Chains A and B, each alone.
Chain A
């Protein structure tokens, strides 16, 4: 009897969480996959909706608007993650010193991430405002013409990207700084004694040793970049035109404005597939890189052993 109880203990601990996730996360996702094969509008029950097979997927595939928004999403995510990695890691390398008040600084840097995305969107929308906004006021004060930050298709995406970079660079910075500070000091010391310059230390020692953390940081940020919705919703609502309409936003508009739940479900599936491919791809790439490094290290060790034999 006692053995039985012990064997069931892990399941007892797991059961409540598993039940909630099953009911409110896995079931909805299964439901969504089913719904993506339907022609379904919000006034119908799902049972009344017509089965249309792959039509939603096919239509979306050839829909120039969806393609546009798909590519906007990819461009947004790629630029945002690259910029944030570059700035965040750069700042971490620069600020990895004995600085008084560093913890206060980190606290300040966390603030943008903790505030509601809705509020972040609001602040930036106000600062970008054509007449009362800070940016155009300053430009006007300097005698320069204002910039149509959010109302010009060419400016809207960069403006949105700036807001995201403001909000999320600190995330990379904090992870990179933690990684730097957990590096073995002995390695740094040794390289310094061997006469490595600051740059050499960064390129040959710090960055390679930080790689595992940087990889995870980039992956987390990339996944989150596809979740961004509220900031853009408040700033531009996808406009002007489709210039900032990321897929997440298009899904929400398809539900509320066009009232085509089946199509929105198919879109959601495309987005999930994309995320899955990206995550798996990055993991495989990381595995391959690790293996290559391992091989190189083995080769180096073998050569060293032979030399000393």
Chain B
């Protein structure tokens, strides 16, 4: 007998589904279309869909990175090229660090009984509540005046922001990975121990490979936060180390917004998360549901 009693879908439902997809994708497509419009097409009365697509806006944004010189650009603004490099560097390093430290901590919390285990996992959970805006004041003070080595302070440096992002992402990563590590069969680890592996070898050679899907999910979530974050990056980074979100907001001056160029920048900022989503949607969904559904 069929165990699945769920019903199939009717044509009406499919129409509804299409509507949902349009709603979800609409604003993103809107951004994509606008980023390929000339200024005239944006302001003018032409219809939203029919226009001559152009890559001019992308050329304007990426001018510093191009191997040729587009003739519509009078002076090239290198801000975005630099910011892109900064963003990539900061997000990648902080994701790597967070994963390494996070998996180790999650492993300790799940597998070992030790004094203060309850406190550690409760503190971790509580830290998830802290809104980034709350960190604004202390981080400004500490990074500017406290964490200094000689004349060099952490504010404005890559390491300063990387340290902050790592700390911000750790609670979430530990929380997600716990539920994955719990599912690793104890026998596997015991077998490794019997073969003479110490705790660190067991962890790196046996546990880590098994929880790869969890790691992928955690990596995507961390990368997303580090890549997208604005408010703290804005407070900490200086002209040379600014990330893409900061430059994007800076270019949004009240008057005379060049929507085409801004949408092209926004699109470029959105591309990595979009790629992640299409490549690893299953891992993302597992990560999202992990802590909540399986408990």
Cβ A17 vs Cβ B228 within 8 A: no
Interface flag for B158 (CB, 8 Å) = no
Interface flag for A111 (CB, 8 Å) = yes
Residue on B with the closest CB to A140?
Answer: B45
Cβ B228 vs Cβ A216 within 8 A: no
A134: chain B residues within 8 A (beta carbon): 30, 48
Cβ A265 vs Cβ B137 within 8 A: yes
* Cα of A265 to Cα of B139 in the assembled complex, Å: 11
Size bracket, chain A contacts: 35 or more
* Cα of A120 to Cα of B274 in the assembled complex, Å: 13
* Cα of A261 to Cα of B25 in the assembled complex, Å: 40
Among A92-109, those with CB < 8 Å from B are 94-100, 103, 105-109
Chain B binding surface SS class: helix
Total A-B Cβ pairs within 8 A: 288
Q: How far is the CB of B212 from chain A (nearest CB, A)?
A: 19
Cβ A124 vs Cβ B27 within 8 A: yes
B149: chain A residues within 8 A (beta carbon): none
* Cα of A179 to Cα of B295 in the assembled complex, Å: 11
* Cα of A75 to Cα of B281 in the assembled complex, Å: 33
Nearest 10 pairs between A and B by C-beta? A24-B167, A28-B138, A10-B112, A116-B228, A17-B105, A13-B108, A248-B133, A114-B273, A107-B281, A17-B101
Which one, B56-64, B182-190, B282-290, is touching chain A? B282-290
* Cα of A122 to Cα of B264 in the assembled complex, Å: 11
* Cα of A11 to Cα of B112 in the assembled complex, Å: 9
Interface flag for B8 (CB, 8 Å) = yes
Q: How far is the CB of B201 from chain A (nearest CB, A)?
A: 12
Among A120-145, those with CB < 8 Å from B are 120, 122-124, 126-127, 131-132, 134, 137
Q: How far is the CB of A190 from chain B (nearest CB, A)?
A: 10
* Cα of A115 to Cα of B288 in the assembled complex, Å: 15
Known: A122-B263, A174-B289. A32 touches B138 (CB 8 A): yes
Q: Which residues of B contact A (CB under 8 A)?
A: 3-9, 13, 16-17, 20-21, 23-25, 27-28, 30-31, 34, 42-43, 48, 97, 100-102, 104-105, 107-109, 111-114, 117, 120, 123-124, 127-142, 145-146, 163-164, 166-168, 170-171, 174, 199, 203, 224, 227-228, 230-231, 235, 245, 248-249, 252, 259, 262-263, 266, 269-270, 273-274, 276-278, 281-282, 284-285, 288-289, 291-293, 295
Q: How far is the CB of A238 from chain B (nearest CB, A)?
A: 12
* Cα of A251 to Cα of B168 in the assembled complex, Å: 18
B248: chain A residues within 8 A (beta carbon): 118-119, 122
19 contacts between A and B (CB under 8 A): A10-B114, A14-B120, A20-B101, A26-B123, A99-B9, A103-B281, A108-B24, A116-B273, A118-B228, A119-B269, A126-B34, A192-B5, A229-B133, A230-B231, A248-B134, A251-B137, A255-B235, A265-B137, A268-B133
Q: A108-B21, A182-B293 known; 13 other A-B pairs, CB under 8 Å?
A: A9-B112, A10-B111, A20-B167, A111-B28, A114-B276, A116-B228, A126-B259, A132-B42, A132-B43, A192-B5, A220-B292, A223-B128, A248-B131
User: Would you give the 0/1 interface string for A189-211, flagging 1 where the beta carbon is closer than 8 Å to chain B?
Assistant: 10010000000000000000000
Interface flag for A60 (CB, 8 Å) = no
Interface flag for A272 (CB, 8 Å) = yes
* Cα of A48 to Cα of B134 in the assembled complex, Å: 22
B124: chain A residues within 8 A (beta carbon): 21
B263: chain A residues within 8 A (beta carbon): 122, 126
Q: How far is the CB of A262 from chain B (nearest CB, A)?
A: 8
Known: A27-B142, A110-B277, A123-B31. A178 touches B129 (CB 8 A): no
Cβ A32 vs Cβ B134 within 8 A: yes
B289: chain A residues within 8 A (beta carbon): 174-175, 178
- Which residue of B6, B34, B228, B274 is within 8 Å of A111 (Cβ)? B274
Q: How far is the CB of B8 from chain A (nearest CB, A)?
A: 5
Q: How far is the CB of B192 from chain A (nearest CB, A)?
A: 14
Known: A20-B170, A230-B231. A251 touches B288 (CB 8 A): no
User: Would you give the 0/1 interface string for A229-273, flagging 1 where the beta carbon is closer than 8 Å to chain B?
Assistant: 110011000000000000111011001100001001100100110
* Cα of A11 to Cα of B282 in the assembled complex, Å: 33
A117: chain B residues within 8 A (beta carbon): 228, 230
A122: chain B residues within 8 A (beta carbon): 31, 248, 252, 262-263, 266
B277: chain A residues within 8 A (beta carbon): 107, 110-111, 114
